[in-house]
Chain A
């Protein structure tokens, strides 16, 4: 049992990171009933943009560029963490504008449009940053490893997991404790009523999509030092995000967090016995859970079922 502890810890951190990845996805599904297949591409885009901001290559050898590269890495990293998601959010908003003609049609069309957008973003990344594997620089304070109870743990993974907890908490507070969150949830529940009360629903949708894209990009920035950066990383990301919202139940915030922890734990624990097969466990978990509970753990009825 004792030898399982590092795997359980690993699984829980992985689960928190999965929750971070799924956060923006579940927000957009829950509020707009759009399956955003471009989520993974936005994740990659955010990470690449943050990497470029941190490296400062695009500023060239101008005075600003030289000054920029002389800033301490931690400052540049902090700015990159902000800039990546902001830029990705603007891409997400453009995507929402493209999505408008698909509202009111079968959900398939939104899904297909975002699939096409994912292809386009992925190819753009390939065009701009090349196909090779790249890495995102991290400040020294976050690097390295530490010992605890005779076991070795990576500092960055703990930082990332802590970051995920903070992000999940903030998003929850935003949705539950602010008037904006109330409007967003009301828009998901009864869009006609929200419009009748004088709220600008199209602006709301634009903001929600931007917010979801920013969360995807944020997850990308945090995950990039762990998973590395490849143009097709989006597809590795969209799958766990998918599984998590299905297991958790479409539109349920805590369902998604719970499902992410379960998926992380199952991957972590099976990793102890059969490392090569550990990723399979999440699909088996999906079939086991959705086989018995058709709407996932905490799901409610959704227009997407028809």
Chain B
């Protein structure tokens, strides 16, 4: 069977109101009410929401334009440190800190992207590993700035200030609402972006870079901008992450973590669907908590699951759902061509 890709699932320009979007928003809005009931906890919701921002931004680069970065944890880390340093050195401010996180990460992304954007394929992936390792290494060695391997500790959670309203984010419940609101904005913005002509250009570059250049697109510029955009989202996620953890630690920058985000996006089906990263991130965190509650070697089982997934269904969960859905629709349609059982 031919593998399906993002381009096989038709884009729906215009209104972002689709069933999947409605389901997602519903889950996001009701999570605090049912999370404890199913045996999970509030902080998990925050963690998942933050990683969703990271993963969705990452998939712009990974799934849509097809550039495989294996060092993206670095920009999450830069965002986290920038947020922390802003709180500690300049002033305690939520918007200022988040802005600093986004700017720092996208600035780093702009510099690194300038080195990367005329490459593709394996050399692109290898260069991102190289740069990711440099950032991670500096975070560990620059004790004076980053606190070395211990990380930056005691980062405050600043109050949310909108005009005259001041709202404390100190407890996990209110922080969840804040992160969820940002995630909702990010999802709608990214949805519009990938279904706009820009998203089509990204996919054209993934399918055939040379041809996209012949059509007249400035491929280098678009690759560079996409990299910066994805690092900006990583920075935003990092800022929120340091707020949730009340600290910034170098381990999110390691190759291991950067590999895990690739794994999440791929298992969920980021190559196939906009919603792939969402499924992947949720699967990862739920697996971590549920399998991790049973056995300490949960990564063994998650790794095995991942290996089996790559062997049998490399399009990931979203691809699986798409294939199953397409088959069900065919079956129920009257007069449809009978579907072969195996395929």
A residues near B (Cβ < 8 Å) are: 35, 37, 98, 101-102, 105, 107-109, 111-113, 115-120, 122-124, 126-127, 235, 238-239, 242-243, 246, 250, 276-277, 279-280, 283-284, 286-287, 290-291, 294-295, 302, 304-306
Given contacts A112-B263, A116-B306, A35 and B122 within 8 Å (CB-CB): yes
Contacts of B263 in A (CB 8 A): 112, 115-116
A117 to B302 CA separation, bound complex (whole angstroms): 11
Closest chain-A Cβ to B124's Cβ sits at a distance in Å of 9
A287 to B306 CA separation, bound complex (whole angstroms): 32
B311 and A98: CB pair below 8 A? yes
B120 and A305: CB pair below 8 A? yes
Closest chain-A Cβ to B28's Cβ sits at a distance in Å of 29
Given contacts A107-B122, A277-B141, A120 and B303 within 8 Å (CB-CB): yes
Closest chain-A Cβ to B121's Cβ sits at a distance in Å of 4
Q: Which residues 132-155 of B have a CB within 8 angstroms of A?
A: 133-134, 137-138, 141
Query: Would you call B40 an interface residue if the criterion is a C-beta within 8 Å of the partner chain's C-beta atoms?
Result: no
A250 and B122: CB pair below 8 A? yes
- Using CB atoms, name the residue of chain B closest to A284: B134
A290 to B263 CA separation, bound complex (whole angstroms): 27
Given contacts A123-B297, A250-B122, A304-B121, A109 and B314 within 8 Å (CB-CB): yes
A304 to B121 CA separation, bound complex (whole angstroms): 6
Instruction: Provide a sorted-by-A list of 19 A–B residue pairs whose CB atoms are within 8 angstroms.
Output: A35-B122, A98-B307, A102-B310, A107-B121, A109-B310, A113-B307, A113-B311, A115-B262, A116-B310, A119-B303, A120-B300, A120-B303, A123-B300, A279-B137, A280-B137, A280-B141, A305-B121, A305-B122, A306-B120
The 10 closest A-B pairs by CB, nearest first: A119-B303, A123-B300, A304-B122, A305-B121, A116-B306, A120-B303, A116-B307, A113-B310, A246-B126, A286-B130
Residue with the greatest number of chain A CB neighbours at <10 A, chosen from B122, B126, B134: B122
A105 to B271 CA separation, bound complex (whole angstroms): 13
B123 and A246: CB pair below 8 A? yes
A119 and B306: CB pair below 8 A? yes
Contacts of B133 in A (CB 8 A): 239, 283
A306 to B262 CA separation, bound complex (whole angstroms): 19
Given contacts A101-B311, A105-B3, A306-B120, A112 and B126 within 8 Å (CB-CB): no
A235 and B307: CB pair below 8 A? no
A235 and B255: CB pair below 8 A? yes
A295 to B122 CA separation, bound complex (whole angstroms): 10
A246 to B254 CA separation, bound complex (whole angstroms): 20
Contacts of A295 in B (CB 8 A): 123
Closest chain-B Cβ to A129's Cβ sits at a distance in Å of 13
Residue with the greatest number of chain B CB neighbours at <10 A, chosen from A37, A101, A111, A279: A111
B residues near A (Cβ < 8 Å) are: 3, 68, 115, 118-123, 125-127, 129-131, 133-134, 137-138, 141, 254-256, 259, 262-263, 266, 297, 299-300, 302-304, 306-307, 310-312, 314
Residue with the greatest number of chain A CB neighbours at <10 A, chosen from B121, B254, B297, B310: B310
A283 to B299 CA separation, bound complex (whole angstroms): 29
A290 to B121 CA separation, bound complex (whole angstroms): 14
A35 to B141 CA separation, bound complex (whole angstroms): 29
Contacts of A111 in B (CB 8 A): 125
Contacts of A109 in B (CB 8 A): 310, 314
- Using CB atoms, name the residue of chain B closest to A117: B307
A120 to B299 CA separation, bound complex (whole angstroms): 7
A38 to B127 CA separation, bound complex (whole angstroms): 19
B119 and A294: CB pair below 8 A? yes
Contact of B304 among A115, A120, A246, A276 (CB under 8 A): A120
B299 and A119: CB pair below 8 A? yes
Contact of B311 among A102, A119, A243 (CB under 8 A): A102
Closest chain-A Cβ to B256's Cβ sits at a distance in Å of 6
Contacts of B122 in A (CB 8 A): 35, 107, 250, 302, 304-305
A123 and B137: CB pair below 8 A? no
A119 and B302: CB pair below 8 A? yes
Closest chain-B Cβ to A291's Cβ sits at a distance in Å of 6
**Known contacts A120-B300, A305-B121; 7 further A-B pairs (Cβ under 8 A):** A112-B266, A113-B311, A116-B307, A235-B255, A290-B130, A294-B119, A294-B123
Contacts of A306 in B (CB 8 A): 120-121
A294 to B306 CA separation, bound complex (whole angstroms): 32
Residue with the greatest number of chain B CB neighbours at <10 A, chosen from A112, A250, A291: A112
A116 to B299 CA separation, bound complex (whole angstroms): 10
A172 to B312 CA separation, bound complex (whole angstroms): 37
A119 to B3 CA separation, bound complex (whole angstroms): 26
Contact of A291 among B115, B254, B302 (CB under 8 A): B115
A222 to B297 CA separation, bound complex (whole angstroms): 28
Closest chain-A Cβ to B302's Cβ sits at a distance in Å of 7
Contacts of B306 in A (CB 8 A): 112, 116, 119
Contacts of A291 in B (CB 8 A): 115
Contacts of A102 in B (CB 8 A): 310-311, 314
B314 and A243: CB pair below 8 A? no
B307 and A283: CB pair below 8 A? no
A279 to B314 CA separation, bound complex (whole angstroms): 36
